[in-house]
């Protein structure tokens, strides 16, 4: 018989608790308000699903929460928990026939999570993939039975479709928008990033350099380890307007959508 640890390992993309202990997670800056919204949802018994534009910092927000848990500075409601980053895409890539097998695999994962006694907080980084594999029933059952917390992240349009066609998910899950920071918050983020670089790597940046970086710096200046703020491409404003394609066993497809196999991903 498979142990819960063996089952979780098949889905595991990154053990955030272990990565935080090894100082392998880069910090996110000026995210206190967003983290407060996230933990408020958890404290209210809801399972938040983070949505927003690509590159806005959804994953970085959860990584920062894992860092603060390790440092002992996380909100009491989640302090001491172990966040594990799971991936539907990872598990599907290991299967010979993912369309036919993912339902049983998800049911197995749900059973394993229910045996973790509330210690583990699963973070599904690509929760929108549950829609393609028709796994809403298992997500609903997990939300109904799970005694710990759960965090998700997914593509906005797909998550909205999933809630539209499986309303019962709203009983346990909620959508949390992560937005790009405004210009007023950009300077504090850059200053915090520059201070971190100086203390951690001995890199000093002049006011002039930060002035040049401010208009194009990403919302999470240290989301990648390095000695300079990464640039933020305004090309991220592009929208994915192609219809979502998938077959449903019970519910009809969205009006005008092309009916195809469930295992379809759209870039």
Report residue 257's pLDDT band, with 50, 70 and 90 as the boundaries.
very low
Max CA pair span of the chain: 62
- Cβ of 219: how many Cβ atoms within 10 Å? 24
Backbone angles phi, psi at 249, to 5 degrees: -75, -30
Evaluate if residue 171 carries a pLDDT over 90.
Answer: yes
Please indicate whether residue 117 or residue 18 has the higher confidence score (pLDDT).
Answer: 18
Nearest alpha carbon to residue 50 among 124, 118, 119: 124
Overall average pLDDT of the 208-232 stretch: 51
How high is the pLDDT of residue 227? 41
The model's confidence at residue 235, banded by pLDDT at 50, 70 and 90, is: very low
Q: Give the angle subtended at the CA of 208 by the CAs of 203 and 210, to the nearest 5°.
A: 60
- Split at pLDDT 50, 70, 90, the class of 216 is low
Instruction: Work out the number of other CB atoms within 10 angstroms of the CB of residue 5.
Output: 11
pLDDT of residue 230: 37
Pairing state between β 82-86 and 173-177: unpaired
pLDDT score, position 233: 28
Across the chain, mean pLDDT equals: 80
**What are the residues whose beta carbons fall under 8 Å from the beta carbon of 61, sequence distance 6 or more?**
28, 31, 34, 35, 38, 50, 178
* pLDDT score for 202: 84
Q: What is the pLDDT of residue 6?
A: 95
Strand-by-strand arrangement of the 173-177 sheet: 12-15, 82-86, 120-124, 151-153, 47-51, 173-177
* Integer Cα distance of 187 and 111 in angstroms: 46
- The tens digit of pLDDT for each residue in 11-70 reads 999 999 999 999 999 898 888 899 999 999 999 999 999 999 888 889 999 999 999 999
What is the model's pLDDT at position 199? Answer: 77
Query: Residue 264's pLDDT is what?
Result: 38
* Prediction pTM value: 0.77
Give the span between the Cα atoms of 29 and 196, in whole angstroms. Answer: 10
Whether residue 188 is predicted with pLDDT greater than 90 in this model: the reply is no
pLDDT digits (tens, 9 = 90+) for 192-207: 777 777 777 788 887 7
List the structure tokens of 24. 């392998």
Do residues 251 and 52 lie in contact, with contact meaning Cβ atoms separated by under 8 Å? Answer: no
Which pLDDT score, from 0 to 100, does residue 203 have? 82
What's 38's DSSP letter?
H
Q: Which residues have C-beta within 8 Å of that of residue 265, sequence separation ≥ 6? A: 89, 129, 132
Look at residue 217 in the predicted model and tell me its pLDDT. Answer: 53
Rounded to an integer, the average pLDDT of 163-183 is 89
For residue 190, the model assigns a pLDDT of 78
Look up residue 241 and give its two tokens. Answer: 């307007």
DSSP label of 97: S
What's the average model confidence in pLDDT over 142-171? 94
């Amino acid at each position: 018989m498979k142990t819960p640890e063996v089952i979780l390992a098949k889905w595991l993309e990154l053990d955030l608790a272990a990565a935080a202990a090894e100082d392998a997670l880069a910090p996110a800056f000026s995210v206190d308000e967003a983290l407060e919204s996230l933990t408020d949802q958890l404290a209210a018994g809801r399972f938040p699903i983070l949505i927003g534009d690509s590159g806005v910092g959804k994953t970085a927000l959860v990584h920062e929460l894992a860092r603060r848990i390790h440092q002992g500075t996380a909100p009491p409601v989640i302090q001491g928990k172990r966040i594990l980053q799971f991936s539907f895409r990872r598990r599907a890539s290991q299967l010979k026939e993912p369309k036919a097998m993912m339902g049983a695999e998800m049911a197995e994962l749900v059973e394993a999570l229910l045996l973790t006694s509330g210690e583990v907080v699963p973070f599904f980084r690509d929760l929108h993939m549950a829609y393609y594999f028709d796994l809403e029933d298992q997500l609903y059952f997990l939300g109904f039975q799970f005694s710990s917390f759960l965090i998700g992240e997914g593509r906005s349009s797909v998550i909205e479709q999933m809630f539209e066609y499986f309303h019962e998910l709203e009983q346990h899950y909620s959508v949390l928008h992560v937005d790009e920071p405004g210009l007023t918050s950009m300077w504090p983020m850059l200053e915090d990033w520059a201070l971190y670089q100086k203390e951690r790597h001995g890199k000093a940046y002049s006011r002039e350099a930060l002035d040049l970086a401010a208009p194009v710096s990403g919302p999470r200046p240290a989301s990648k380890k390095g000695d300079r703020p990464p640039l933020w491409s305004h090309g991220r404003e592009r929208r994915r307007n192609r219809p979502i394609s998938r077959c449903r066993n019970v519910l009809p497809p969205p009006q005008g959508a092309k009916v195809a196999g469930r295992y379809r991903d759209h870039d």
